[in-house]
Structure 1
């Protein structure tokens, strides 16, 4: 845990995450959802299931921290080519499991090309 006098506490977690227990705020950088799908569309052989694994890791972080707010620090979606029906369905199912969670996206360089996530998230 990182702490500075007068500032508060920040717990550093694996998978590019940090948690502020005083605010119930989980910060996650560079999720790159749909990255494998984007690569497969370009002919790069990468394994399937990476989106589900990423969302499962995210759910585990939420469970472990008890976060009530989640901020994606850039690059939520990898590319427009990763916005497949399967990727969007996985995101919708994940969101259904966390309906009360407040979500915020701080746009990164990939988000400019991938576009915003569906409004239903």
Structure 2
């Protein structure tokens, strides 16, 4: 689904990423690479193939949009270095896009490791009237695009059915992206009347309110 914000077009993708057409920029939040390996190290029964899925989805996105820039809106890695860093290095060398990391609270890996891969690390990124951050921020002048919350939404049916879905959460001054990574969990929001919820299904992004 494509939405317009401040006269700019953003394509909301079923992966949880958003493509900013005018900037030729792919926005991705909360990938949490390394989290699956972390769980497996401490005995959680998480399938090994889930690790590869994150990188496959990232590659599909880059192939589909061919962005000039990729901005990760924080929590690219879940914690300290583990075996998934090697996979990340391989993935970075496979893309030609400029990569920017807006540091999140989980991004504790040394900036030197990112610099070796020519990845910029920024606390925030200001582009025109847009302010890209990890944590949600409210400002008077800028429209904030962020992550961190891992927004989700519950759809209730007439027969007590309930679907729990990831979503893009848009208010008048903010767009919160869903978590991209596998096994990241959701925070289920209660929107205000003027807010918009775009839930993610397997095949499409749907405005539900």
**2:60 is the alignment partner of 1:66:** no
Matched-pair contact (CA < 8 Å) for 1:71–1:106: yes
CA distance in 2, matches of 1:50, 1:10: 28
**Mind listing any 5+ residue stretches in structure 1 that lack a counterpart?**
none
Matches within 5 A, 1:1-121: 1-4=2-5, 6-80=6-80, 83-84=81-82, 86-98=83-95, 100-111=96-107, 114-116=108-110, 118-119=113-114, 120-121=116-117
Question: Which structure's residues are more often strand, by fraction?
Answer: 2
**Mind listing any 5+ residue stretches in structure 2 that lack a counterpart?**
118-209
SS at match of 1:109: coil
TM-fit CA distance, 1:116: 4.1
* Structure 1 stretches of 4+ moved >6 Å: none
CA distance in 1, matches of 2:15, 2:75: 14
CA distance in 2, matches of 1:76, 1:116: 13
Cα-Cα RMSD: 1.6
Question: What TM-score results when the alignment is normalised by the length of structure 1?
Answer: 0.85
Question: Which structure's residues are more often helix, by fraction?
Answer: 1
Question: What TM-score results when the alignment is normalised by the length of structure 2?
Answer: 0.51
TM-fit CA distance, 1:90: 0.7
